Each structure stands twice: as structure tokens, then as C-alpha cells.
């Protein structure tokens, strides 16, 4: 039994933070009034409490050479938890990580099965590789059945025969493959660097684009209109110059592509924000990157110009809301419309104004709310009364200083203190 002496920052899922004076954690749930008949024995914990952060693009069970052992995967998950990341969408792993979901001390995990790619068109030992592109619909349908509502597609990669980034799949195959996934009630997230892959993804009905470094202004506008989410993975994109240098000697055209995307990375991130895209935090941890990078990813967004309160909203409540909500394009399009209208009004008064969901006038009272995804005892929440107590506490207000996310003073998962 825990007594949080506050403040407790509750986000309603639409960017409206409310600082509540205190809360209680009882039987794994967060409550905003003291339970009756419990008596004494509360453990007091102080600090600014927020919903646990989410990593919408990480890889538990994956290392630089492919699958890692279970002990290493466990350490990856614990590294996320130590940074207050308590919800992970695993965007592709060669390891069957269902065992993580049976551990109360590890972050909640939404699995996407294994990456699906083509031979020699992705990192070795990472993906399920299809010799025949026509097998893609069946393969994605199989991954959808084995995952938790998501599948992971590799949409583009370097073609070593041509020496440039290019799509892996014909557009017509993507249409059939995504339809097969959607018929099962699952969603598709796709790795994409290059511009040439984006049209096919959009036309086929992609749900989430990872990186999105090839998206032009038309792509961005269309993605915003359709409510398609993007995980910009800025910490990863900051490494593109390094990738370019690796390819300079053997693949100079590829190196030029990577370098061009590196140069415009901050401008493109700003374009994502200005268009009202659903931007979600993803570290791309696993492979070459360590786990626990979401605080750095959010700080990177702030360094580009996003207010800390907005970054915090996207990194906690908005990401949780997105992952907990079934496919509901009408909701996302409605939210995008509200942002567009507010942005137009703000820019008419101040052309340089930053407009995100947290600063949209009337946004919190829009009436647009996601349907609750009923999952019995494992519902994803964002500190609404009665939600599972998945939260992190900090010595100061992260809306004022995003850097405090690096050092949580306490981490609570499923109502139990697991760190800090």
C-alpha cells in the first residue's frame, strides 16, 4: 500500500496535464481518494509522478548479431524499467519473448513477432526472409497470429546490386499483405528510410512508419490526414552520418542518400510536428543501440523545439493511449483536424507559433476519446483513477526540465516499487 504525496501529473490522453495533490496505490491500482477501511501502514513516496514512459520501437531479445540469450533479453527489459519505461512495443525480435509477459517485474510488452524482409535486404540474422515476394500476405498473417496485434515489415533497405536504398516489395503485394493483417485485427509497423518506399506504404494502408526519413511534404500531409503514426527515432537518425561514412567506399550513392537525410533530420522532425502527425517515442534499442534511451529521445525532441510538456505527453500518455487503442482511424483523423484548425488560427496571429496537441485551445474538451481496450487484468492506462499503477516519480517537474527523466527517484509497476 503506497501513498504518493505528490504532485501526481495525470494526463487525460489529450495533452491536458492536471497536477493532483496526492494519490494512493492499493491492490495494484492508482486511486485519487484514500480507500475506506484500510487503516494504517501506508508507505509514503514523494516526488512528481507521471505515467510510465513508453518505447514504441524497441527490440527485446535482439543484439548486434541477432537473437540473444534470455538472460541478456532480461537485462534489456530491466534497463528500460530503470529509466521509467514501463510499456514497450517490441518492433521485431527473433526471440519468442512471451516469457517477458509473465514477469511482474518487467515492463509490459506488446510483441510484433519477427521482422519480415527479403534475403540480403536487411541486417543478417534479424528477420524472417522471404525468397518469393508473393509469400508476403501469408507471412504477415502468420506473424499477426503469433504477435500481440502488430506485425513488423522491413519496407526498404540497401540493394547491394544497385548500391542504393530501395523498396523490398511491389506495391500490389503490400496492398494484399496489409489487408490480410487488418482482417485479423492487427496493425502494421514498417521500417522505412527512403522516399521511394513511402507511396506504397501509404496506399496499402500502413498504420505506423518507423524513421520516415524519406517522407516529403505530400507524404507527411497524407500521413497526418490518415492518422498514421510515426516514430522518428532521432537518436538513431543522429547516427546517419556514421552510416554514410561506412558506405562511402563501396556504396557512394547509398552514402549520399544517408547523408542527405542526416542533414535535414531536424527540419523534417519540425515538419512532422507542424503537420500534426501522431509522433511517438521510439528508441530503436536492440541491435547496436542500448536499451533505456527514451528519456534521451524525448530530450532530443525538446532540443529541436518541442516544449517539454508536449514531449512528456507524447512519451507517456499519448503513446500509451495509442498502443491501447484498436485500429480507429476516425479518431486519429478527428484529432488531426482539431490540430489543423488550431494551427491555422494560431499562425494567423503568430506565423512562428509552435502548436502541438497540448496547446490546442479547447483540445481537452473536444469530446474525442479512444475506446477503452478491455484486456481484463492487463489494461494499459495513463494514471486515470483505477488504472494499473504503472508510474515513475522524479525529484522535480519534468514538464519544466525534461532531463530529469534520466533519473527517476522511484519506479512503480503493477503497484509494486521495482526501482529508484
Q: Which CATH number do you get for residue 395?
A: 2.30.40.10
pLDDT band of residue 19 (cuts 50, 70, 90) is: very high
Same domain (yes/no): 268, 281: yes
Question: 112 with 175, same domain?
Answer: yes
Last residue of a domain, one of 269, 300, 324: 324
Asked if residue 365 is part of any domain, the answer here is: no
Report if residue 77 sits inside a domain: yes
Residues 285 and 404 in one domain: no
pLDDT at res. 366: 30
Shared domain check, 145 and 10: no
Lowest model confidence (mean pLDDT) among 88-92, 139-143, 327-331, 373-377: 373-377
* C-beta separation of 68 from 60 below 8 A: no
Helix, coil or strand: residue 146: helix
Measured distance CA(240)–CA(224) in Å, rounded: 25
pTM: 0.88
Please tell me whether residues 69 and 141 are part of one structural domain: yes
> What backbone phi and psi angles, to 5 degrees, belong to 262?
-65, -45
pLDDT of 325 over the 60 cut: yes
| Residue 190 pLDDT greater than 60, yes or no | yes
If asked whether residues 106 and 216 sit together in one domain, one would say yes
Looking at the structure of the chain, the number of domains it has is: 2
Does 363 have pLDDT greater than 80?
Answer: no
Q: Clarify whether residues 110 and 24 are in a common domain.
A: no
- Assess if residue 210 is contained within a domain: yes
- Identify the weakest region by mean pLDDT among 21-25, 297-301, 327-331, 379-383: 327-331
The mean per-residue pLDDT over the stretch 292-320 comes to: 97
Range with the lowest mean pLDDT among 165-174, 371-380, 406-415? 371-380
Average pLDDT over residues 296-318: 97
Clarify whether residues 116 and 169 are in a common domain: yes
Q: Which of 269, 268, 270, 245 is nearest to 256 (CA)?
A: 245
Residue 291 lies in a domain: yes
Does 284 share its domain with 380?
A: no
From 267, 298, 324, give the residue that closes a domain.
324
Beta bridge partners of 392: 50, 411
Q: Is residue 358 part of a domain?
A: no
In the numeric block, the cell 497540448 is attached to 358
* 357, part of any domain: no
Do the Cβ atoms of 123 and 91 come closer than 8 Å? Answer: no
Q: How far is CA 321 from CA 50, 63, 326, 331, 389, in A?
A: 14, 29, 10, 12, 15
Cell numbers for 351: 506565423
Confidence tier at 371 by pLDDT (50, 70, 90): very low
CA–chain centroid gap for 274, Å, is 19
Whether omega for the bond prior to residue 7 falls within 30 degrees of 0, making it cis, is yes
Both 22 and 37 in one domain: the answer is yes
Whichever domain contains 92, its CATH number is 3.20.20.140
Is 194 found in the same domain as 70? Answer: yes
pLDDT band at 326 (very low <50, low <70, confident <90, very high): low
In terms of domains, do 11 and 139 share one?
no
pLDDT band at 375 (very low <50, low <70, confident <90, very high): very low
Residue span of the structural domain in which 21 resides: 2-50+371-419
Whether 339 is in a domain gets the answer: no
pLDDT at position 13: 64
User: Does residue 28 fall inside a structural domain?
Assistant: yes
pLDDT digits (tens, 9 = 90+) for 78-107: 999 999 999 999 999 999 999 999 999 999
> Which residue shows C-alpha cell 493511449?
321
Q: How many CB atoms lie within 10 A of CB 12?
A: 18
Amino acid at each position: 500500500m503506497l501513498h504518493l504525496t505528490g504532485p501526481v501529473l495525470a494526463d487525460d490522453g489529450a495533452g491536458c496535464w492536471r497536477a493532483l495533490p496526492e494519490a494512493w496505490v492499493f491492490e495494484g491500482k492508482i486511486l485519487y481518494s484514500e480507500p475506506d477501511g484500510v487503516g494504517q501502514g501506508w508507505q509514503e513516496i514523494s516526488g512528481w509522478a507521471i505515467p510510465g514512459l513508453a518505447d514504441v520501437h524497441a527490440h527485446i531479445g535482439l543484439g548486434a548479431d541477432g537473437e540473444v540469450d534470455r538472460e541478456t533479453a532480461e537485462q534489456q527489459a530491466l534497463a528500460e524499467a530503470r529509466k521509467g519505461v514501463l510499456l514497450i512495443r517490441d518492433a521485431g525480435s527473433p526471440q519468442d519473448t512471451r516469457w517477458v509477459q509473465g514477469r511482474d517485474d518487467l515492463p509490459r510488452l506488446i510483441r510484433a513477432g519477427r521482422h519480415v524482409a527479403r534475403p540480403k535486404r536487411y541486417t543478417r540474422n534479424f528477420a524472417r526472409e522471404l525468397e518469393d515476394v508473393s509469400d508476403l500476405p501469408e507471412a504477415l498473417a502468420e506473424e499477426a497470429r503469433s504477435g500481440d496485434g502488430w506485425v513488423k515489415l522491413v519496407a526498404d533497405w540497401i540493394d547491394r546490386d544497385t548500391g542504393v536504398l530501395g523498396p523490398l516489395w511491389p506495391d500490389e503485394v503490400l496492398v494484399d499483405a496489409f489487408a490480410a493483417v487488418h482482417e485479423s485485427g492487427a496493425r502494421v509497423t514498417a521500417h522505412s528510410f527512403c522516399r521511394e518506399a513511402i507511396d506504397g506504404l501509404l496506399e496499402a494502408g500502413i498504420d505506423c512508419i518507423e524513421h520516415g526519413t524519406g517522407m516529403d511534404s505530400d507524404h507527411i500531409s497524407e500521413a497526418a490526414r490518415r492518422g498514421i503514426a510515426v516514430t522518428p527515432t532521432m537518436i538513431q537518425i543522429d547516427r546517419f552520418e556514421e552510416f554514410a561514412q561506412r558506405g562511402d567506399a563501396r556504396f557512394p550513392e547509398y552514402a549520399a542518400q544517408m547523408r542527405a537525410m542526416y542533414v535535414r533530420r531536424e527540419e523534417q522532425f519540425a515538419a512532422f510536428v507542424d503537420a500534426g502527425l501522431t509522433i511517438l517515442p521510439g528508441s530503436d534499442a536492440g541491435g547496436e543501440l542500448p536499451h533505456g534511451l527514451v528519456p534521451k529521445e524525448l530530450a532530443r525532441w525538446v532540443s529541436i523545439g518541442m516544449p517539454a510538456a508536449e514531449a512528456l505527453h507524447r512519451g507517456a500518455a499519448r503513446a500509451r493511449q495509442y498502443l491501447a487503442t484498436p485500429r480507429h482511424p476516425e479518431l486519429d483523423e478527428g484529432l488531426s483536424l482539431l490540430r489543423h484548425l488550431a494551427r491555422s488560427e494560431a499562425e494567423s496571429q503568430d506565423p512562428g507559433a509552435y502548436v502541438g496537441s497540448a496547446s490546442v485551445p479547447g483540445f481537452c474538451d473536444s469530446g474525442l476519446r479512444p475506446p477503452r481496450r478491455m484486456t481484463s487484468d492487463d489494461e494499459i492506462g495513463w494514471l486515470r483513477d483505477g488504472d494499473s499503477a504503472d508510474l515513475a516519480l522524479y525529484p522535480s517537474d519534468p514538464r519544466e526540465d525534461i532531463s530529469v527523466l534520466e533519473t527517476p527517484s522511484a519506479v512503480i509497476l503493477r503497484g509494486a516499487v521495482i526501482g529508484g
